[in-house]
Chains A and B, each alone.
Chain A
Amino acid sequence: MPDLRDQISQALKGHGADYVEVRIEEGESTRLLYRGRELEDVGMTTSLGGNVRALVNGGWGFVSFNTIEGLGARVEDAVRQARIVGQEKSELAGVEPIVDIVEPQLKKDPRTLTLAQKKGLMDEYNEVMWGVGGIQTTLIAYGDGHKKVVFANSDGSYIEQQRVDVSLRLSATARDGSEVQQAGVSLGSSGDFSVVEGLHQESKEIAEKAASLLAAPRVQGGEYTVILDPVLAGVFTHEAFGHLSESDHVYENDRLKEVMVLGRKFGGEHLNIVDGAAVPGLRGSYRYDDEGVPATRSYLIREGELVGRLHSRETAAKMGEAPSGNARAIDFRFEPIVRMTNTFIEPGSTTFEEMIADVKEGVYACDWYGGMTSMEMFTFSAREAYMIRDGKVEELLRPVTLSGNVFETLKNLDAVGNDLDMNQGGGCGKGGQSPLPVSNGSPHIRIARCLVGGA
């Protein structure tokens, strides 16, 4: 986009602000949504838009739009707003200006398949699920999107990146009288269609699971030793701990700063938590964030101790820490805010067999259904759960809800498995921006005491 680059650099001249950035996005997306046997929604969407963000005396102005003519006037608007807001000193962590054009590396680009091919595959999965007895309805939501993002700022950075995202959710609902149960799976990738291929067996198992949940007993609510599978442990890491590492919650909150003070012991030496978009090939991976900061791979917890957190340029400057490349916006309509990317617990050395061997009575909770956190409190739901008795996985239970206080729960995390697995089906929501592509993961983990409720 040579013309666009000229237009942007013209617009960024003589703005009079402490900092200005421009982001222009052009995208296209395809979606297929089945409810039951019917392909309820199939659509293709194209979009073009952009924004200007300006910083003056510590205050931000932001203007978003759908037409890219008149960028100069948009810059003036944003600067004017920032000037009204700004009452102190602007602080942004220094980042070397970057000029780069990043081409995506795609294994199997979804754009090389026709709509008919994508639909054909989804039809097959749907048929498989409907082939299982007791199924009331199914849901298949497939989406792919491609966008080109142009970023430039008044420091002299100019970056073009392309982002491709593929996501698929399959679920089956079984019903018996007024009893309704669901099972499902969510998958995704940063542009590799092959992750949503070959799921015929998985589709069958989902439908069978939903049907078998109808007959499953409810858990007796209470405190148990809980083993989480990698998917659910990944969600736990994201929800219960990851959000606390987002510095925008922390940097102007002195009390929370005390809670999240670097060096504080959060867990045993076996606990290591990492976040980073520089971990390659995952759904939350990228080269530069939406402030043009290079992606990193950062320890949040190392050997049980808090050693890092997630930053934008502003939060990094205000906390005197290094920027981590975690400022992300879901699209051009939004300002970048501090977000997770790929968040996971590093594997340890305990095998699943060792972990379960001395559990007399407990719950083995698998797969995620949803999760939310409000700082110290968290709730997350396991789609699938089993009783553990005398070191063995026993009967299937109805879906369970796990909840508690994150600080207590991390202390109670007493074993970390050796079998790291990444979950790419998630979408994260924060500040009205949802779903943002992220991944999370973990090996199996054991929590000595955790409150389990029936969902």
Chain B
Amino acid sequence: MEEILEAARKVADAADLFWVESRSIPVAFETNRLKHMQTKEARGVGLRIIKDGRIGFSATNKVEDVEGIVSRAVEVAPYGAKAEFGLPSAAEHPEVPTFDPAVPQVPIEKMVELSQEMVEGVLEGHPEVLCDAGASQSVVKVRIMNSEGVDASYEKTVFSIGLSGTLVRGTDMLFVGDGESSCRPIEDASEIVARVRGQLDMAKQEAEVTTGRFPVVFTPDAVAGLLLSPLLVGFNGKTVVQGSSPLVGRLGEKVVDERFSLYDDGTIAFRPGSRPWDDEGVSTRVTPLIDKGVASSFIYDLKTAAQAGAETTGNAARGSGSLPSPSTSVISIAEGDMSFDEMIADMKEGLVVERFLGAGQTNILAGDYSGNVLLGYKVENGQIVGRVKNSMLSGNVYETLNNLIAIGNEAKWRGGSLRTPPLYCADVSVARTEGEG
């Protein structure tokens, strides 16, 4: 790595080098049986140079090819974007633990056992379900060097488990599933099993949906799958400097219900989305995007911050094969005061939605969302009465979050980078998609 940076310095005004090396071992059950075991090793290095005020970039995993990587970056630099920013120098970073040496010590047999427990846990109560399940462990090493003297590295471990089930009856199919991810070993799969069994129980009956506007409870899965992208896209420095974010010029304005707060916080210990510094070597911090309903900050990397006349928020993300761009680290949505059960009890007629199909195909830049309900339940007179089929939700995320009835009092982690309670919203547009009458 040193040689590449040294060679780049000779021909460029500034340079940074981003190195990622990873080893992951997933095991997978398919249709109730152990089917796959893999070992995936990968490494790669991306070189960004600034030459004559422009950005050049090249990437390779042939890391011995020092001359090739430098010469290709020089070749593209004359056409590259203008560099209106400088690279950071070495700095103190917050302590953010992301490595647990116990993860690579987890025996393969334990991972097989966890997966098997999940499959058997579902089959016990629902023998007709076909289960896919798996566990994986990985170790990632990240290193950054730049021409201003930065040379930093950290290691991260990630342990994930997941379970999904399919139930086919004639031409009808039901999909259920759940998963969990952490920087530390996950010892126990019973919570996931319980949630999937709960989904199967609630979906036992089918319930009718009519077209109209109804109160809807978005579970943490639904927040992740349907609402989050159209919401976050407006805060991304990239859409902001392009002028395509609907929030341009509106920081400080109330954009959603005042009970709603959303933070980007990559400093939370042992979350897979956390890190001490971002992929440009800038310290991670807590950035409120929405504070009590008010749009408070956008997220930036060095380049978009410079374009916007702002400071980077330490949100640069890149793989070894690409230039950085702004991306959220760990998103946290503040808890409210109503329990999930109270939300159900409160509803005369409405839906609880969990999983979607076709989300994100709408004009998400404007905050629009739309998706077929893949897994959701009908609520009548305060009780879940069955699974809904053939229904579609659509709307605008800003409107929906302005129609908040309540925020759940218990937040859950979804994947490695989102923590959210359920959101209970009024007046959501629900369309029955077929079989009318």
Contacts and interface: CB of A to CB of B under 8 A. Distances in A.
Interface of A: 32, 35-36, 38-49, 59-66, 77, 81-82, 84-85, 87, 115-116, 119, 136-137, 173, 175, 178-182, 221, 223, 252-253, 255-256, 259, 333, 335, 369-381, 399, 401, 403-405, 407-408, 451, 453-455
17 contacts: A41-B323, A42-B57, A42-B81, A43-B59, A43-B76, A45-B321, A46-B65, A115-B79, A137-B242, A137-B244, A175-B244, A182-B363, A333-B40, A372-B357, A379-B372, A401-B392, A403-B372
B4 to A, nearest CB: 13
A411 to B, nearest CB: 11
A253 B167 CA distance: 10
A305 to B, nearest CB: 17
Contacts of B68: 46
B168 A255 contact: yes
A178 B168 CA distance: 43
Interface string B291-333: 0000000000000000000000000000001110000000000
B75 A451 contact: no
B358 interface: yes
B358 A376 contact: no
A332 to B, nearest CB: 10
Contacts of B58: 43-46
B10 to A, nearest CB: 20
Contact of A81 (B39, B76, B172, B374): B39
A180 B366 contact: yes
B143 to A, nearest CB: 16
Contacts of B80: 39, 42
A66 B42 contact: yes
A59 B37 contact: yes
Given A41-B323, A376-B172, A180 B244 contact: yes
Given A252-B31, A455-B368, A42 B362 contact: no
A390 to B, nearest CB: 24
B412 interface: no
Interface residues of B, number: 72
Contacts of A221: 211, 431
Contacts of B42: 49, 64, 66, 333
A266 to B, nearest CB: 11
A381 B61 CA distance: 38
Nearest to A66: B61
A454 B30 CA distance: 37
A134 to B, nearest CB: 13
B414 interface: no
A210 to B, nearest CB: 11
Given A259-B171, A453-B392, 11 more contacts: A35-B238, A40-B81, A41-B323, A47-B62, A59-B34, A61-B37, A63-B38, A63-B40, A64-B41, A376-B172, A381-B361
Contacts of B56: 42
A85 B33 CA distance: 9
B39 A63 contact: yes
B357 A377 contact: yes
A451 B433 contact: yes
A81 B436 CA distance: 52
A256 B168 contact: yes
A82 B30 CA distance: 14
Nearest to B24: A64
A81 B41 contact: no
Contacts of A81: 37-39
A35 to B, nearest CB: 6
B140 interface: no
B348 interface: no
Contact of B362 (A374, A381, A407, A451): A381
A404 B363 CA distance: 21
Given A41-B81, A59-B37, A381-B362, A48 B62 contact: yes
Contacts of A40: 81, 323
Given A62-B36, A64-B42, A379-B361, A116 B60 contact: no
B362 A401 contact: yes
A61 B362 contact: no
Contacts of A77: 39
A41 B48 CA distance: 11
B246 interface: yes
Contact of B434 (A115, A136, A179, A451): A451
A373 B392 CA distance: 14
Given A60-B36, A253-B166, A403-B433, A39 B81 contact: yes
B244 A173 contact: yes
Given A43-B323, A61-B37, A453-B392, A408 B244 contact: no
A403 B358 contact: yes
Interface in B359-387: 360-363, 365-366, 368, 370-372, 374
Contacts of B322: 41, 43
Interface in B363-420: 363, 365-366, 368, 370-372, 374, 390, 392, 394
Nearest to A221: B431
Nearest to A83: B37
Nearest to A405: B434
A451 B433 CA distance: 6
A39 to B, nearest CB: 6
Contacts of A369: 361
A428 to B, nearest CB: 15
A140 to B, nearest CB: 13
A405 B171 CA distance: 9
Contacts of A453: 370, 392, 394, 431, 433
Given A137-B244, A401-B361, A451-B434, A116 B168 contact: no
Contacts of B434: 404-405, 408, 451
A49 B42 CA distance: 9
Contacts of B106: none
Of all A-B residue pairs in the complex, the 7 with the closest CB atoms, nearest first, are A379-B358, A255-B168, A370-B361, A252-B31, A81-B37, A43-B57, A62-B38
B363 A455 contact: yes
A266 B72 CA distance: 53
Given A42-B79, A253-B130, A256-B168, A380 B433 contact: no
A60 B68 CA distance: 37
B357 A44 contact: no
A27 B216 CA distance: 49
B39 A401 contact: no
Interface string B76-107: 10011110000000000000000000000000
Given A41-B81, A46-B65, A377-B357, A64 B37 contact: no
B122 to A, nearest CB: 15
A413 to B, nearest CB: 15
Given A41-B57, A115-B79, A180 B372 contact: no
